[in-house]
Chain A
Amino acid sequence: GAGVSQSPSNKVTEKGKDVELRCDPISGHTALYWYRQSLGQGLEFLIYFQGNSAPDKSGLPSDRFSAERTGGSVSTLTIQRTQQEDSAVYLCASTPDRVYGYTFGSGTRLTVV
């Protein structure tokens, strides 16, 4: 596609429910990243994919968070048993290879009520 596509753009969920966030990177981009941004905070790294493998998932805040990437393309970030502190904008980015300046998607705003 022309850009990084994320869905849904907004998600409101009840505390304790599971949510799935989707990222469709730019075609041909091998590296894919998930970050989150809380109100007034910087971008917090979550996980990095190179192809379908995740060499760095050190930023996942707890075992409630998991992510996968299939076919070297689409990635899904899953948050189980959501908590209010999970409320944030979840941003996905991709690059052709490693780091040459990310292209970000428009993000998913997650609100846990």
Chain B
Amino acid sequence: QKEVEQNSGPLSVPEGAIASLNCTYSDRGSQSFFWYRQYSGKSPELIMSIYSNGDKEDGRFTAQLNKASQYVSLLIRDSQPSDSATYLCAAANSGYSTLTFGKGTMLLVSP
């Protein structure tokens, strides 16, 4: 069974700090990975995608992928209280048709 594992948290960081969110996946055939942010009571919104080993930066967000270790991470620099949300990691299946989601990590950024 294909799985995506995340620590449920909460991960608490002070405003201005770096938040590090981690994810592992079981399907070695997965090639595409996504991070979604979900505010309480809202639907998930896509914030980052990554397809190749290494780092991908977009503003305050950096996604990291290590396919050998089957590990994906998301770094949020200069964390803001508005970043407080649940972050969902997702992996595309080998056939590129569906995403398997982790249960999410709750991030709390304190002012």
Q: Which residue of chain A has the shortest Cβ distance to B103 in the bound complex?
A: A42
CB-CB under 8 A for A43 and B101, given A99-B32, A99-B92, A99-B96 = yes
- Determine if B46 and A103 form an interchain contact, defined as CB atoms under 8 angstroms apart: yes
**In the complex, A56→B93 CA distance in Å?**
12
Q: Which residue of chain A has the shortest Cβ distance to B89 in the bound complex?
A: A42
- Determine if A99 and B43 form an interchain contact, defined as CB atoms under 8 angstroms apart: no
- Determine if A105 and B43 form an interchain contact, defined as CB atoms under 8 angstroms apart: yes
B49's partner among A35, A56, A101, A107 (CB-CB below 8 A) is A101
**A-to-B contact residues, CB < 8 Å:** 31, 33, 35, 41-43, 45, 48, 50, 55-56, 91, 98-107
CB-CB under 8 A for A106 and B43, given A42-B103, A101-B34, A101-B49 = yes
Considering the complex, which residues of chain B in the window 5-49 have a beta carbon less than 8 Å from any beta carbon of chain A? Answer: 32, 34, 42-46, 49
> Which residues of B are found within 8 Å of A31, using beta-carbon distances?
97
> Which residues of A are found within 8 Å of B104, using beta-carbon distances?
42
What are 18 residue pairs bridging A and B, where the CB atoms are less than 8 Å apart in the complex?
A33-B99, A42-B102, A42-B103, A42-B104, A43-B88, A45-B100, A48-B98, A55-B97, A56-B97, A56-B98, A98-B96, A98-B97, A99-B98, A99-B99, A100-B49, A101-B46, A102-B46, A105-B43
Most chain A CB inside 10 Å of its own CB: which residue of B43, B96, B101: B43
**In the complex, A48→B44 CA distance in Å?**
18
A107's partner among B32, B43, B46, B102 (CB-CB below 8 A) is B43
Q: Which residue of chain B has the shortest Cβ distance to A99 in the bound complex?
A: B92
**In the complex, A106→B44 CA distance in Å?**
9
- Determine if B103 and A41 form an interchain contact, defined as CB atoms under 8 angstroms apart: yes
- Determine if A33 and B88 form an interchain contact, defined as CB atoms under 8 angstroms apart: no
A93 CB, min distance to chain B CBs, angstroms: 9
**In the complex, A98→B93 CA distance in Å?**
11
- Determine if A45 and B98 form an interchain contact, defined as CB atoms under 8 angstroms apart: yes
Q: Which residue of chain A has the shortest Cβ distance to B32 in the bound complex?
A: A99
> Which residues of A are found within 8 Å of B34, using beta-carbon distances?
101-102
> Which residues of A are found within 8 Å of B49, using beta-carbon distances?
100-101
